[in-house]
Structure formats: structure tokens, C-alpha cells
Amino acid sequence: MSSDTDRLSATFAALADPTRRAILARLSHGEATVGELAEPFELSLPAVSKHLRVLQRAGLVEQGRQAQWRPCRLRPEPLREVAEWMAQYRRFLGESFDRLDDYLRTLQEDPTNTTPRQQDEEDRP
């Protein structure tokens, strides 16, 4: 397994949790302290800190130092890697949606048109 795959795995694992996704969404608007990140959640500061550690290990978040404050900020590189990885599937998804769109259009044009499965059921005695 390449290190790129390992990084993707860590990023997807970090993104799998809705609390961590919400933290990233908040950080997309700018830096925030752990206390500020904890405000909308019914979680303790240590619990939010655990989520932040997962995000940090995945490279999605970094913490700076400003006097006694340790503001967190979003690091976009891992998200860019996910977007690049997913780009290879865009063409496939587009083609799939195009085929579905064509099929739905034929159904709308001829409502008596039946699917192959319906035709099989109609042919049975």
C-alpha cells in the first residue's frame, strides 16, 4: 500500500465521524480554539480534543500557538487529495446519471413501456 493510500485511509477515517466533519466545517470559516469548537456540541473539552487529535493525525487540522491560546486551523491538502482521488470516478458517475436520465426520459415519453423485469413477470402464466 502506498503512502498516498495510507493518507487517504486516514482522511476518510477522520471524515467518517459527523462531529469531526462539523469541526472541519467550522474551521473552514477560520481559526478557532478548542473551547470555541466545543460550544455547539454537548461534549466535554477532552472529548473535542480527542476528535481534534484524529483530525491532526490525518493532517486535516493543525494547532498553532499564540501566547496561551492554541488556535486550530484547517489544512486543505488532505481534502485536495480526496478530491483528486474522487475525480477519477466523476466520469463514471456522470455516465451512470446520463444513462439513468435517458431511461427515465423514455419512460416519460411512453408510460406503457415496461422494464425487462416487468416484462418477465407479465410473460409468466
8 and 29: one domain? yes
CB-based contact 79:11 (threshold 8 Å): yes
Q: The domain that contains 56 carries what CATH number? A: 1.10.10.10
pLDDT digits (tens, 9 = 90+) for 41-71: 988 999 999 999 999 999 999 988 776 778 9
Number of folded domains in the chain? 2
51 and 85: one domain? no
pLDDT digits (tens, 9 = 90+) for 67-100: 677 899 999 999 999 999 988 888 777 787 778 8
| Residue 56, C-beta contacts closer than 8 angstroms, at least 6 positions apart | 62, 63
Say if 120 falls within a structural domain.
no
10 and 33: one domain? yes
Domain of 26 in residue numbering reads as: 3-75
| Residue 55, C-beta contacts closer than 8 angstroms, at least 6 positions apart | 14, 20, 23, 24, 61
53 and 7: one domain? yes
CB atoms near residue 19 (< 10 Å): 16
- What is the rounded average pLDDT of the residues 94-112? 81
